[in-house]
Every structure is written in structure tokens, then in C-alpha cells.
Structure 1
Amino acid sequence: MPDVAQPRNKVIIVGAGVGGTSTAARLAHAGLDVEVYEKNEYSGGRCSLIYHDGYRFDQGPSLLLLRPLFDQLYSDLDTTLEEHIDLVQCNPNYVLHYHDGGKVVLSSDRAQLSREVEKWDGVGGADRLEGFLAEAAAHGSLSYDLVLSKTFNSLFSLLRPTFLANAIRLHPYGNCFNGPKHAKGLSWYPIGGFHKVIQSLVDIATSHGARYSFSTPVSAVTYDHSGRATGVRLSNGEWKSADVVIVNADLVWAYNNLFTKDDSQSNSGRKKATITEGGNDRETSELLDPKLARRLLNKPHSCSSISFYWALDSLIPSLNAHNIFLAEDYKGSFDDIFKRKGMPREPSFYVNVPSRIDPSASPDGKDAIVVLVPVGHLLPSSGKEETIKTFSNGSTVPDVDSQDWPSLVERARKQVIEIMEGRLGIKGLREKIIWEEVNTPVTWKEKFNLTHGSILGITHDFFNVLSFRHQARHPTVKGAYFVGASAHPGTGVPIAIAGSKLCTETVLSDLRIPRPESYASKRSTPKSSLDIQHRRDVLYVLEDIISTLFPYMVGMILMAIVGSGGLWYNGFFEDPPQPPATIFQQYQGETPPSLGLDLKSPVVLLGSLSVFILSILYIKLP
């Protein structure tokens, strides 16, 4: 009989954000039948573009950081990043503007950066920079190897010896990722906007047979009596079947909207769940897991932003492609955002001028400008007028129980313009703006179903990372998975790309499908010019020796412990049985019988050797 082609496993992905498009490309490349449903008319989610009359703006991310993760993605897809994207290296990486007019240029050129640091940090600053970069490089490599490429399906995952041996070096008890990010190597900008990366992933996926349906919202993930995912229900009522469903929509929103008992065949004893979010109480169909849904909803979320997109009638030469304006009390500014969930009395903000490195972003002689002002996210209670609270330290910030976003937008615009004019020494910035679009926490929430309007999802504090963060698998619905900012390993474009690989490998493993050959043991951390550090040779050699000997040392210790148990083993079967203290006292001044490891105790000998071998294997295996 002729061979009959086996049907391919059908995968439906909900959402065409970074995680969804990269996972779609990976799974389609692996030979699965992939279909993606996206509520908006465009792909990319926050990595999308805004156009106006010859001007182009990145709606969200504007820097390509942690390039090794992008290189790994395209390598896994049997291609290269350069084959699809025209990248421009950003030099300087960005410019810091201080309240007193001081300006720090963070160059991607090592020598120039050292001179800049010496200027501000005095003699020895360059040496301290080298030490900082060496430590940052070590942290980066450990993060790649121990966190971004590993799943943490239970608390026991935190007990991996290779993880424990290096965890302290990663400072896990600090404020992980709550401050400025330290990128590995250089920063880059994709010509044509960051969405070019997303579009290339869509193109790769479709070249392998994947299909995209835009302007097609999904209302539910469906599953059968056994708790296995069977597909999705679209907002128009149409049902689409699948063997696997991957949710790239906001994870917290998905738990509170897509997984309900209405979508199984077991609807007895239903109870309505009331969800409070962003100032609105809504009654939903009974949630599949209301306790988990509410717990996720109450987890600390990252900040939101007021983002301005300005088309200017001329250039502002004193602006670089990437600029950060720091408030005089920048720590207090961050406290206003992250602790008090409000808008700072004096904001720190980021200004991106894509037309500075990509002329196609605006008409000749004119600038396209994006201003991102971090603010607190939406809260359950929201009034109509802004009020002011005075804190014990004398600072005043908006009362976060009264978030009047139109008023806050007006205040943010006024402050941003005043700060930019003052620090750049320019006038008439407001008059240069010929067109504006604004995103607020409300619009972020409405456009992309972002819980609380939080632009980065669940925070990265200690109890929301690693085993404490939601992993790829749904805990109760078999065949349902998550990828994106609020799932492991976390938020940010390159981190979501790392998550797409973990999600893909989990799906393939559950389906018992071999990983593509292109995945075979390729290190994810190729060297770049800033990764070549002047290593402290003696310390690093010592570290390598300890790392090599560590598993054997643990094995010998465990072997000794088990062997010591041999004494208890020998004494226990005496008549009457003797406790360990008596047994050891019995051998004082004499040589004990090999701690019980003589031929009279072959079981103990075999057990000790087994513990020794297994401990080495456990430590050595990833």
C-alpha cells in the first residue's frame, strides 16, 4: 500500500504580538499546521507602527537589544537576522540629559565611553567601568544559560545545583529589572521601524504554511470533558478546532476572559464571577479557575505610560536618536510611579527620534518624535478630577484614586515641552508640533487588552520570576499554553522571544515531536565587541576549577553520609539494636569497618556508589 500522509498537528495562536509571531514561525518551521488570530488589523501588538502623512512612529519598542536572542531565533529558523532586517548600530546608545544641563553621552565605542566616564567619574573611572562591564557580562551569560533558556515548572527547579551555585551572583534578592536595563553588547535600530522584525517573522511563518487572520477577535478557548483544549471560539460565534492552543494575548486578561466553564461541556452549578479592573466591575460567565484569575489580577503590575507621537515641521538638531531626560529627584519620580501608582510631579521621560538614524521615518527637513512618559497603571477606582496628596516627605503627587487622564495628558505635555526647551536651549517646540497622537493607560488597555493598562505586564520582583512566574503550560487545560510578557521568562521583546523558544520546545515535547535539527546545542551568547572583557584570569580560573569539582565534591559528601548510615545499618540489626551514638562510641580509638562499606554491607556499598553517580549526573545535566 502507498504511504498515507499523516495529518499535521493543528495549532491555533491567539494574538500576533512578539511572542505569538515568533512562536508561529518556530512551530510552522517545525512542520505543524499553524493559524494565528489577531484582534487588530495589524501584527506586532505594541511593536506596531503609527503612520501620518509621511511620518512613521514606533508605537512601542524602538531599540533592538540583547541581539544574541534575535540571532538565535533566526538561526533556529534556518536563516539569519541580516537576511531579513537592515540593522543600523546606534552610536551613541543614548544620551542622558540632567536637570542642571549636564549631558552624558553613552557611546557604543569603548574608548569614547571610557573617556566620557573619566570626565564624570574622575581618575580611575575607566578601570571601574571595565570592572562593571566584566560583571555585567558575567551576569548576562548566566542569565542566558540559567534563566532565559530554562523552564521553572516547580519550586524544585530552583534547587538545580547549577542554578544555586550561581544564583547569588545574579543578585536575585535585589530589585530585578525594576530600574534601567543593562543591554548585552550594542543597541540597534531596524530600518523601517521595529515592526520590520515582526513582519519578517510573519513572512517566515507563512512561507512554511502558517495562516494569519487579522481583525478576528477570539472570545474563548474551548476544551472537552477531559480538560483538553479543542480550539477557540471567535467573537462572531464561529468555532475553530485545534490540537494545541497558544495564548499570546495578555495572560491575566486571558485568565479572566478566555477560560470559562461556559466553554466546556460541564456547566453544572455555575456561579457568576465579578471581576474588578480599571475602575469597572463586570460580571462574567463562571471562570474556569476564578481564584487563580483573581490572584493574577491582583499581582503587582508594571507601569504604564503617556506616549506622545509628534510630527514636527522642522528638525531639532540637539536631539539624538535616543534620549533620556532625568528628573532632578529621579528616585522620587520612580517612587511616584511604582509605589504610589501616579504621575510624577516632575517626570523622567524617554525621547526617540527615529528620523535621526532612519530618514525614511519623516519627510526631508522634519522630525518624527516619540515621547514616553512613565506613569502609574490603571487602578480599580478612578474618579473624574485629579486631586493632590501631600506625603510626609513633603512631596505632592496626583491622588491615584482619581486618575483623570485627559488632565494628566495636558500636564505631561506641558512639562515635557518645558523641560526639553530648557535643557536643549530651544524655543517654540509646541508651535513646531503639526500633528499629535497620544497613548494613555486607557488606550493601551483598549488597544491590546493590557490588564490595568500596564505596558510591561506583571512585574519582575522576586516572587514573580522563575518558578513563581506562570510557565508555558496551562495548569489544568491540557494542550493550552501561554507565551508573552507575563509568562516566564518575562517582559521585553528579546525576553518574549526567549519565551517563544521555551513555549515551542514545551509544545513539541508534549506532542512527542523531535526538535528541529537547527535547535541542536547552539550557544545563545555569541561574542560582540562589548562582550570581550579583560577577564581577571586568576579568579576566573579558580572559578572554573571550583565549578568543575563541585559535583564531585557533593557526590563524595553524599556518599559519606550514606556510608555513615552503614554504621546505623550494622548496629540496627544487632540484638538489641543500637543507636548511632552508641555505635560511634563503640569504635572510638579503633578504625571503624570502612564506615560500614565493607563487603559485609554490599547494599550500603551499592547505595553509596549510586548516590555518588546520580548526584554527579544531576548536577551536570542542564
Structure 2
Amino acid sequence: QIKPLAKHYRHMDHYFDSPRLKAAFTFQDVYMGLSPFEAPATFSMMPYTELAHGVWYPKGGMYSIVETMMALAQQAGVEFVFNTAVSQIEVKDSRARGVVLEDGRFHTADAVVANADLPYVYQNLLPQDRLARQMARKRYSCSVITFFWGVDKPYEALPPHTLFLADDYRANFDSIIDDLTIPDNPSLYIHAPTRLDPSMAPAGEDTIIGIVPVGHMDETGEQDWRAIRDRARRAIFRKLALLGITDLEAHIKFETNCTPLSWRKRYNLVKGATHGLCHNLMQLGYMRPRNRHPDYHNLYFVGASTHPGTGIPTALVSGRHSASRVMDDLGLVDNPIAHFSPRMV
């Protein structure tokens, strides 16, 4: 049923004749770091899940998930330390002893859960051993250039979700996955969250988000991300013009944008790869880095680059898996929050 040895795009031949429909049902593979021409047909589950079960939107935007989880943790007595980076996870023998902060303070811990990008943790916070070297040889997902625009007029004709798929579909993926750049005619996604949540913009105004998949950072440092960002920006305006929206640029009140450089600097994403390690067969399922470190048995991981994989729902599942492991390993039962102590970092 899951067809792990069949290529995703070719597998769509069994169901569709239209190249546009084949593209619509395989585009999500780019977020796995793969071209649908090489991705396993297993990923057919993604468009199926969207169509069969729908797509959920958290009121207040994605960050409301973070705020809600933080509020629940604080109610349980969790203490957060902000604006202080971790410079090292101190280890000895087969255990993590705690974390060293950038200001030199040391926090001891019975368990350490790392929610930074897993390859970054291996390469920057732990001893440089064989596992760190293995991470350097892993394959990474693509990146995206994202624009967040606040505009001074509503664009009510724009639906909540708009996906533009390029006609030169295979060439698009070759540019992103193989050439690590932006296609000449990129596929892209436009989100208008105020259609679902009016609180996302003041009355009479609008919020528009544009997302353009691009390659991740290469090792040469020769990519001109400012130029690539500007090409992505122009591509969005060209696509919107096809819908009759020709004046968006003139009505932008403010703009925030992120490139692979931004993702690496702000969030320590290795290569600026927004979806972490890619999901080829050698990094999928049992082969994906586990939620617990193989050598330091009280060091756990959550996020896109560990098991089970990328995406907000999946990353949250990784958190649940690690929480269950912590409970089992420390002999906790029932609700883990009820047993939280300051020695768990």
C-alpha cells in the first residue's frame, strides 16, 4: 500500500493523466527535501491526509501553539531562561551532566532535552566524534524564502491558501534540490491568514505571507541570497498579477523576510535547511536519527531532524515520544509535568 520502492510522481500515473494534478499531489515532497521524481510513493499519505482530514489552523497563528504550551508549563512551575544561548552540553561517560550557558553558568540536569536542530547539537554542542562527522555527510531538506507583509488594504479576493505550480515542474525541483538555487519560474505558496482569523490584521487591512522554496546553503558560500531573495519577491508579485492583484507592492506597510541565511542565524538550522534532514530512504523511519542519543542515555532530541520527521505536527509527536522516554527512563508515571523538577533541562 505505501509503495516505498515506487517513485512518487511516476506512481501518480496510475491515478491521473493531467500533469497539473500530478504536480498538485506531489508538490509537498519539496518539504521533505526531495524531488517527487526521486521521492518514494509513500509520501502519497500527505495529500491524502490533507484531503481526508483537513488542515487545521490555530487561532492567533502558529506561534499561539508556543504561547499555549509555555503557559501550561509555567502553570506547572517550569522556569524559562530567555536570551541566553547554550554553548555546550556537558557530558561524562555515558551521560549528559547538564548545560553550559554562553555566560558561563552551568545547569546540572537529570535529563537534557535538546530542541535545537539535531545536526547543530551534534556538531556544535557535543564532543566532535564519529556521530558529529556523520551529520556532516547527511542530506538536508530544501530551504524557503518567506515574506511577511502587512498591507493597508484588504485583498478579499485572495483565498486563505493559493498554490502556484510551475509548468516546468521537473526543472523546478532540479533547480532547488540539485542546483541549490531558485528556479527561473518558481512554484510558490501564498497564505492570507485573515480569511480564517480576522485578528491577524487590523480592520480594513490585511496580512499576506509568501513562501518560495529554494535550495539550502551550499559549502562554497557563493550564493547571493540578497539577489535570490529579490527574485523570489518579484516572482510573487508576478504570480499575484495573474489573479488581478497588481498593486500589492504599493500598499505594503511593513515587510519581514527570511532567507536561508536568516534561518541559520536565528534558529541554528544547519545549511539554513528549514525542514531539517531530508527524508530519503536512508534517513526515513528506523534510519532517521533517534530521539535519544545512542551514547549519552539521558540526552533526548525533539524537532524536525529526529524521529519521526519534519512539520509542526510531526515535530510535536517527536516531543511526545521524548517525553515518554524521559518518563520511562526516570521511573515517572502519570503526568510528567506533575513530576517536573528544576534538574530536568
User: Deviation per CA, 1:139-159, whole angstroms, max 9, x where unpaired?
Assistant: xxxxxxxxxxxxxxxxxxxxx
Check if 1:439 corresponds to 2:306: no
Match in the other structure for 1:311 = 150
- Corresponding residue for residue 63 of structure 2: 195
Structure 2 residue aligned with 1:411? 231
Question: Contact 2:98 / 2:112 at 8 angstroms: preserved in 1?
Answer: yes
Which amino acid is the alignment partner of residue 415 of structure 1? A
Look up the SS of the partner of 1:212 in the other structure. Answer: coil
Alignment map for 1:145-544 (pairs within 5 Å):
174=40, 176-177=42-43, 181=47, 182-183=49-50, 185-224=53-92, 226-260=93-127, 287=128, 289=129, 291-383=130-222, 403-421=223-241, 423-516=242-335
**Deviation of the 1:516 alpha carbon:** 4.2
SS at match of 1:434: strand
Q: Take 1:317 and 1:361, find their aligned partners in 2: how far apart are those partners? A: 14
Tell whether the 8 Å contact from 2:91 to 2:296 is kept in structure 1 after alignment.
yes
State the distance in 1 between where 2:333 and 2:288 align.
Answer: 27
Secondary structure at the aligned position of 2:100 is classed as strand
Q: Distance in 1 between matches of 2:330 and 2:218?
A: 41
State the Cα deviation string for residues 9-37 of structure 1 (Å, max 9, x = none): xxxxxxxxxxxxxxxxxxxxxxxxxxxxx
Shift of 1:416: 1.4
Cα distance in 1 for partners of 2:189, 2:221 equals 26
Instruction: Render the CA deviation track for 1:369-402: whole Å, top value 9, x for unaligned.
Output: 110000000010022xxxxxxxxxxxxxxxxxxx
| TM-score, normalised relative to structure 2 | 0.82
Q: After superposition, give the CA deviation of every residue in 1:94-149 in whole Å (9 maximum; x if it has no partner).
A: xxxxxxxxxxxxxxxxxxxxxxxxxx99xxx9xxxxxx9xxxxxxxxxxxxxxxxx
C-alpha separation in 1, matches of 2:262 and 2:245: 31
- The whole-number CA distance in structure 1 between the counterparts of 2:147 and 2:336 is 45
CA drift of 1:246 comes to 0.9
8 A contact 2:165–2:187 mirrored in 1:
yes
- CA–CA distance in structure 1, aligned partners of residues 334 and 40 of structure 2: 36
Contact 2:123/2:135 (8 A) holds in 1: no
Cα distance in 2 for residues equivalent to 1:517 and 1:427? 53
- The amino acid of 2:124's aligned partner reads N
- Once residues 205 and 517 of structure 1 are traced to their aligned partners in structure 2, the CA distance between those partners, rounded to angstroms, is 11
The percentage of counterpart residues that share the same residue type is 36
Distance in 2, matches of 1:487 and 1:372, equals 24
Deviation at 1:294, TM superposition (A): 2.2
Q: Distance in 2 between matches of 1:366 and 1:179?
A: 37
Quote the Cα distance in structure 2 between the aligned partners of 1:516 and 1:258.
30
Partner Cα separation in structure 2 for residue 439 and residue 177 of structure 1? 27
1:386-438 superposed Cα distances (whole Å, 9 cap, x missing partner): xxxxxxxxxxxxxxxxx1011111111112111210x2023222212232111
One-letter identity of the residue aligned with 2:238? E
Aligned residue for 1:477, secondary structure, equals coil
- Distance, in Å, in 1 between the alignment partners of 2:77 and 2:40 is 45
1:179 and 1:411 map into 2 onto residues whose CA distance is 32
Quick check: 2:237–2:246 contact (8 Å CA) kept in 1? no
Gaps of 5+ in 2: 1-17, 26-38, 338-345
Shift of 1:180: 6.2
User: Aligned-pair distance for 1:227?
Assistant: 2.7
**C-alpha deviation, 1:340, in angstroms:** 2.3
Q: Distance in 2 between matches of 1:487 and 1:246?
A: 12
Structure-2 separation of matches of 1:330 and 1:293: 35
Deviation at 1:175, TM superposition (A): 5.1
CA distance in 1, matches of 2:279, 2:77: 36
> How has the CA–CA distance of structure 1 residues 410 and 179 changed in structure 2, closer, same or farther, with 3 Å as cutoff?
farther
Query: Larger relative CO (CA 8 A, sep 6+): 1 or 2?
Result: 2
* d(CA) in 1 for partners of 2:197, 2:208: 12
